[in-house]
Amino acid sequence: MPISTEPLVVNIGPQHPSTHGVFRMRVTLDGERITDAEMIIGYLHRSMEKLAEERTWTQNIPFTDRMDYLAAMTGNLSYCLAVEKLAGIEVPERAQYLRVIFAELQRIASHAMANGTFVNDCGAWQTPLFYMFREREKILDLFEMTCGARLTTNYMRIGGVAFDLPDEFMPGLRALLDELPDRIGEYEQLLMDNEILLMRGRDVGVLSPETAINASMSGPMLRGSGVAWDIRKADPYCVYDRMEFEIPVGHNGDCYDRFTVRMEEVRQSVRIIEQAVPQLPPGSHCADVPLNLRPPEGEVYSRIESPKGEIGFYLVSDGGPHPYRWHVRSPSLINLSALREMVVGQTVADAIVTLGSIDINVGEVDR
Amino acid sequence: MPILSPWYDFRDLGNAAARLADALRDIDAPEGVVYALVGLLGAVGVLLFVGLTTLVNIWVERRLIGRMQVRRGPNRLGPFGLLQPVADAIKLMQKEALTPRLADGLVFTLAPVVIFIPAILAFAVLPWGEKMVLADLNVGVLYLLALGSTNSLIVFMAGYASNNKYALLGAMRVIAMLISYEIPGVLSLLAVVAFTGTMSLSGIVDFQANYWSWLLFFQPLALVIFLLGSTVELNRSPADIAEAESEIIAGYHIEYSGMKWGLFYAVELVNSIAISAVIASLFLGGWWTFGLEEFVPGWLIFIGKIYACYFLLIWFRGTLPRFRVDQLMAFAWKFLLPMALVNILLVALEITVWEEFDLSAGAVLPVFAVVNFALAGALVAGWARVMAAQFERFPRRARLVPDIDVPLPAEGGGHAARAAV
Amino acid sequence: MAAATKRLAGPEVAERIEAAVPGAAEEVVEGWVQVRPERLVEVARFLRDDRALDARYLASLCAVDRYDWFEVVYHLASLSHNHEFVLKARAAHDDPLLPSVASVWMGADLQEREAYDLMGIRFEGHPTLKRLFLWEGFPGHPLRKDFLAMPGGFSPGLQRFPKEEPGQWGGEFRAD
């Protein structure tokens, strides 16, 4: 009697502990090997782009919090920079330094979450996650001290930042910066020399540099594949051109490389903050921008380096108080372009690990 | 039946059974009845231990894992969270235990019940004291291994009957995994049996008592192999792929809820204690501890050793990430199996040397200990290096670049290969 | 310290495009080059493979509804030369159709699906042109200017908005 086999179609998600949000992947399995993977998103689509067309330019800043809710500061920053470019607004220097400090703090917090959940996807039962959350908690406390919110900070304004630093901020920041390098060393010792993590991450989800560039990858995905590209170096915004830091680059383009790139980026962020804090000039924290801001007719595309990748805003203005077109170039969505290439041919466990290493945030994917 | 009466010597729990047997024989009960009732008393004692230990283990595991994760464990219910297991039990009992409509009802409901049977049966052969064994089988080790292999069948029952693709994936993984890890486990215990010359657990403990040392010193490699093999057999981290929560969300027991799930959870704990008890009696001397059992009751020391092994298992769980299925198979077949075979070869050599030349134990055993330890260390380190060579092709850290640098593609076509980094 | 990314002006890019694919550029403005839809894929391939322009990186693909026509804006960048420029392509408002550049840049795949889903622009030659965010069978394309979201429900495809007067708001940035 002839034996036939049938491929198994399994849904990973939308409810799943490891898909980082409501994300669904329909995989066709042959035993444990994936032969085809299809991605189905839109579970968190909130039509932000349409809603933004009915609100003023300043009223749209809270939308940028809620897109990538784990990196709200950089979302805010990207949008405010785009509007300032469109309207030709000059930002005072103190505000620029504050922006850099908060963007880098947000990078540390987001990477702590990304790496913690990556190791969780590899199966480590949240132990490294809890360790990394210690630092993230301190950073979120600093955010709350300054702008009142931990996650959806809504801190950047068009022309500067919303509030100046309270008195308790600097001692808290100093304490955090003093203990961070030791902690990162601890994580490296616990995780990066861990054989099992090496086995789970090496040669899993490999992305070659040509594919990465062709698929518009950005952020740690691109750098993990060996492409030395960072917008903070290529197109410096705020005061990044005065900061000295290096870009970590991976060797093989696999999950383990992205993990080490993120870990190293946290170190470089600490370095940047250490340079920015003594250079912080006195002055006003926000330029004088009218409430009914009406940028001239035109369009702008401006991008920054968020923890997830290149977040860009394409804004079209018709001279009115509302945007004509408000489009987000979201890194999480575009980083998913190569998911199928990376996942086909691996096992289900590897697919989960790969998805974890892409570090998507479904709020940003779906907007 | 008074168990804790004032004239009862609690250092040997068999006294109560002996008193019961005497009392029954005084009233001229037939031998069968005496045997059955004494056995029943012993079984009740074992079941009491199993039940209590389940409750205690829930608390111990959660608190300890919490401590390893820089947080406290449960601390709301009762002082130090001690009533947490009671609350868990009550919660699970009052939950609705769903059975999916298309699941195979009988097998589905039977699986969590049946999985408890081998777990409890394993406690029958454990030596709690010098004469405190419920069933002193002279094939104790073989009996334990046989019980271990029924686990795979029952887990497959649970996974298959659930009518769920995730459960099926989990069940298939489990079968492959448990069958692969039987062999190194059996071979490592074979080395122990060959060394001590007896398969009965109380006999092995007596061997350790006679030669005044623990088998750990003579068979470190067997201990390591058995420990790792058991971690996998127990479906615990780093090998909990059967119920890998972050991948196939609970695998074979994904469709179970309420007390049916509670039974799966409890049996994992009971199994852990059973395996810890086996390790404690085979390798750590059971109730015998260099003469300490004169002062402290032997069975208390035994329970202490059980919890020491259990702590080790919890430590593994809290620290290590999970293996992938094929890596786990590779670990069993390419790493543990060759080492187990080498170990048996070595044991056979040693036993032959010992018997042939009729050497005294005092002269020969320390030599064996040193040689075994040295060989274990060398084998593990060397073989691991060989096996892990392919993962070390690239450096383990990212390299730092001072400025952006993206070279153009090589001449001759848009997607020509990029030069080596 | 790295210099900032250079923004190439429209005429500069148009010159090189004309040299390679004559007749492709429809309109050349300071900020962008508008390309004929039928030559779009050829131009895209040329831009990607050319050593000097080296547009191997598609930064963003965005669709805009301009009442009388749709336009799709391509922001292209070169990581090696660190410059960027803008390409645009127009499509008719009724039944918009454009060739797909997903075969040239893999990153365009998801973004074109998004443009189809939300704006209704169909891309010819796209491997799987399905809706991305909204469910199959959703009536209409929400980001269009004539898609009205009414409170309490939606009724797609109502009358088009009267076109707003250019300059009705004053047109300059007032600092008061």
Three-state SS letters, B370-401: HHHHHHHHHHHHHHHHHHCHHHHCCCCCCEEE
What one-character-per-residue DSSP string does B106-147 give? HHHHHHHHHTHHHHHHGGGG-B-SSS-BSS--TTHHHHHHHH
The pLDDT score that the predictor gives to residue A145 is 92
State how far residue B400 is from chain C, nearest Cα, in angstroms: 16
Give yes or no for C48 touching B (CB within 8 A). Answer: yes
- Write the burial class of residue A153 (CB in 10 Å: 0-12 exposed, 13-18 middle, 19+ buried): buried
Query: Per the structure block, which two tokens stand in for C116?
Result: 């189809």
Whether residue A197 contacts residue A204, with contact meaning beta carbons closer than 8 Å, is answered with no
Q: What Å distances lie between residue C61 and A102, C95, C134, CA to CA?
A: 29, 19, 19
Mutate to test the interface with A, among B70, B168, B324, B415 (most CBs of A within 10 A): B324
- Two structure tokens written together for B364: 């020969």
Q: In which element (H, E) is residue A176 found?
A: helix A169-187
Structure-block tokens of residue C40: 């779009």
Q: B406–C79: do the CB atoms touch at under 8 Å?
A: yes
Q: Contact, A89 vs A102, CB < 8 A?
A: no
- Region B317-342: what's the mean pLDDT? 86
- pLDDT class for B12, splitting at 50, 70, 90? low
* A244 Cβ contact list (under 8 Å, min separation 6): A271, A275
Closest CA to A102 of A48, A52, A67, A149: A149
Q: Is A348–B248 a contact, with Cβ atoms under 8 angstroms apart?
A: yes
Q: What's CA A238's distance to the chain center, in Å?
A: 18
pLDDT digits (tens, 9 = 90+) for B196-213: 888 888 888 888 888 888
**One-letter identity of residue A21:** G
ipTM (interface predicted TM): 0.88
What region, left, alpha or beta, does residue C83 occupy, with left being phi > 0 and alpha being psi -120 to 50 degrees? beta
| The pair of three-digit structure tokens given for residue A180, joined into one six-digit string | 């961070």
Which uninterrupted H or E stretch holds A34? Answer: strand A33-40
Q: What is the DSSP letter of A193?
A: T
Residue recorded with tokens 């392919």: B390
CB-based contact (8 Å) between C72 and chain A? Answer: no
Give the residue, A263 or A17, on which the prediction is more confident. A263
Task: Identify all chain C residues contacting A333, using CB atoms and an 8 Å cutoff.
Answer: 110-111, 114
pLDDT for the residue numbered A17: 66
What is the mean pLDDT of the segment spanning B121-142? 84
pLDDT-based confidence at residue B4 (cuts at 50, 70, 90): very low
Is residue A25 over pLDDT 80?
yes
Q: Report the pLDDT value the prediction gives residue A18, as an integer from 0 to 100.
A: 64
Residues 123 through 152 of chain C touching chain A, CB cutoff 8 Å: 131-135, 142-143, 147, 149
CB-CB contact of A242 with A142 (8 Å)? no
pLDDT tens digits for range B16-25: 777 777 777 7
Q: Do B324 and A260 touch (CB under 8 A)?
A: no
Structure tokens at C161: 């908005």
Q: Looking at chain A, which subunits does it touch, using at least 3 CB pairs closer than 8 Å as the criterion?
A: B, C
Give the per-residue pLDDT at B69.
86
- What are the chain C neighbours of B408 within 8 Å (beta carbons)? 51, 54, 80
DSSP-assigned states of every residue in A81-99 = HHHHHHHTPPPPHHHHHHH
Phi, psi (rounded to 5 degrees) for C72: -115, 130
The 10s digit of each residue's pLDDT in B230-271 is 888 888 877 776 665 545 555 677 788 888 888 888 888 999
Q: Given this model, what pLDDT does residue C163 score? A: 43
Would you call B404 and A257 a contact, using CB atoms and an 8 Å cutoff? no
Task: Examine the pLDDT at A273 and tell me if it is beyond 90.
Answer: yes
Closest by Cβ to C57, choosing from A88, A216, A316: A216
Question: Do C143 and A49 count as a contact with CB atoms less than 8 A apart?
Answer: yes
Give me the mean pLDDT over the A66-88 stretch. Answer: 91
Domains of chain C: 6-136 (3.30.460.80)
Extract the tokens encoding C14: 């148009």
Arithmetic mean of pLDDT, B117-127: 89
Whole-number pLDDT of residue B244: 57
**For B97-116, what is each residue's pLDDT tens digit?**
888 888 888 898 898 889 98
Among partner residues C59, C110, C176, which is closest to A336 by beta-carbon distance? Answer: C110
Residues A279 and A89: beta-carbon distance below 8 Å: no
State how beta strands C97-99 and C122-124 pair.
parallel
* B238/A123 Cβ within 8 A: yes
Q: What is the pLDDT confidence band of residue A120, given thresholds at 50, 70 and 90?
A: confident
Shortest CA gap B390–chain A (Å)? 9
The listed range with the strongest mean pLDDT (B243-257, B403-417, C11-25, C121-135) is C121-135
**How many residue pairs bridge chain B and chain C with CB atoms within 8 Å of each other?**
14
- Residues C17-60: pLDDT tens digits? 888 888 778 888 888 888 888 889 989 998 888 888 888 999 99
Please name which of B267, B182, B271 lies closest in space to residue B229, comparing C-alpha atoms. Answer: B182
Sheet holding A325-329, edge to edge: A298-306, A309-317, A325-329
Interchain contact, B406 vs C2, CB within 8 Å: no
- Judging contacts by C-beta atoms under 8 Å, the chain A residues touching residue C176 are 290
- B353-393: pLDDT as tens digits: 888 877 777 777 888 888 888 988 998 888 888 877 777 77
Identify which of B247, B402, B405 has the shortest CB distance to residue A18.
B247
The answer to which of B26-35, B42-51, B96-105 has the lowest mean pLDDT is B26-35
**pLDDT for residue B175 is more than 80:** yes
**DSSP element (H, E) containing B160:** helix B140-161
Does C56 contact chain B (CB < 8 Å)?
A: yes
- By the CB < 8 Å criterion, does C51 face chain B? yes
Does the distance separating the beta carbons of B403 and C80 come in below 8 Å?
Answer: no
Mean pLDDT on B78-83:
86
Helices (H) and strands (E) in chain A, counts: 15, 9
pLDDT, position C99: 92
Question: What is residue B412's predicted lDDT score, i.e. its pLDDT?
Answer: 54
Please spell the DSSP secondary structure of A244-304, one letter per residue: ---EEE-SS-SHHHHHHHHHHHHHHHHHHHHHHTTT---S-SB----SS--PPSEEEEEEE
More confident of the two residues B417 and B219: B219
Q: Helix, strand or coil for residue A305?
A: strand
Q: How far is CA A2 from CA A5, A30, A31, in A?
A: 10, 18, 18
Mean pLDDT value across chain A: 88
Answer whether A319 sits within 8 Å of C57, measured CB to CB: no
| Three-class secondary structure of residue A137 per DSSP | helix
For B65, other C-beta atoms within 10 Å of its C-beta total 18
Residues B35 and C112: their CA atoms lie apart, in Å, by 81
Collapsed DSSP state (helix, strand, coil) of residue B345? helix
Instruction: Report the percentage of chain A scoring pLDDT > 70.
Output: 99
Q: How many CB pairs under 8 A join A and C?
A: 122
Q: How far is CA A85 from CA A88, B126, B139, C114, C159, in A?
A: 5, 77, 83, 26, 35
Residue type, A83: V
| C173 pLDDT higher than 50 | no
DSSP A161: E
Contact B154, B202 (CB under 8 A): no
Residues of chain A neighbouring C116 (CB-CB closer than 8 A) = none
Residue C152's pLDDT band, with cuts at 50, 70 and 90, is: very low
Q: What is the mean pLDDT of residues B28-33?
A: 77
What confidence tens digit (pLDDT) does each residue in A230-255 have? 999 888 988 898 889 999 998 888 89
Contact assignment for C82 to A47 by CB distance below 8 Å: no
Tens-digit pLDDT profile for residues A172-219:
999 999 999 998 888 888 888 787 888 888 888 898 998 899 999 999
Q: CA geometry: angle at B322 spanning B319 and B326, to 5°?
A: 150
C83 touches chain B (CB under 8 A): no
Domains in chain A, CATH or no CATH each:
42-366 (1.10.645.10)
β-pairing verdict for C6-7 and C83-92: parallel
Q: Is C82 close to B404, i.e. CB distance below 8 A?
A: yes
Separation CA A15–CA B370 (nearest Å)? 54
Q: How confident is the model at residue C158 (pLDDT cuts 50, 70, 90)?
A: very low
- pLDDT bracket for residue B217 (50, 70, 90): confident
Q: What is the mean pLDDT of residues A318-340?
A: 90
Per-residue pLDDT for A274 more than 90? yes
Looking at chain B, the whole-number percentage of residues with pLDDT higher than 90 is 14
Tell me, what's the pLDDT at C1?
43
Give the rounded distance of the alpha carbon of B417 from its chain centre.
51
Whether B382 contacts B391, CB under 8 Å: no
Cα–Cα distances (Å) from B225 to B180, B295, B316, in that order, read: 13, 33, 15
3-state secondary structure chain C: CCCCCEECCHHHHHHHHHHHCCCCEEEECCCCEEECHHHHHHHHHHHHHCCCCCCCEEEEEEEEECCCEEEEEEEEEECCCCEEEEEEEEEECCCCEEECCCCCCCCHHHHHHHHHHHHCCEEECCCCCCCCCCCCCCCCCCCCCCCCEECCEECCCCCCCCCCCCCCCCCCCCCC
| pLDDT surpasses 50 at B420 | no
Cβ neighbors of B213 (< 8 A, separation 6 or more) are: B365, B369
Q: Are C80 and B408 in contact (CB under 8 A)?
A: yes
Q: Say yes or no: B51 contacts chain C, CB-CB below 8 A.
A: no
Q: Closest approach of chain C CAs to the CA of A21, in angstroms?
A: 15
> A189 CB contacts (<8 Å, ≥6 apart)?
none
Residue of A nearest to B395 (CA): A251
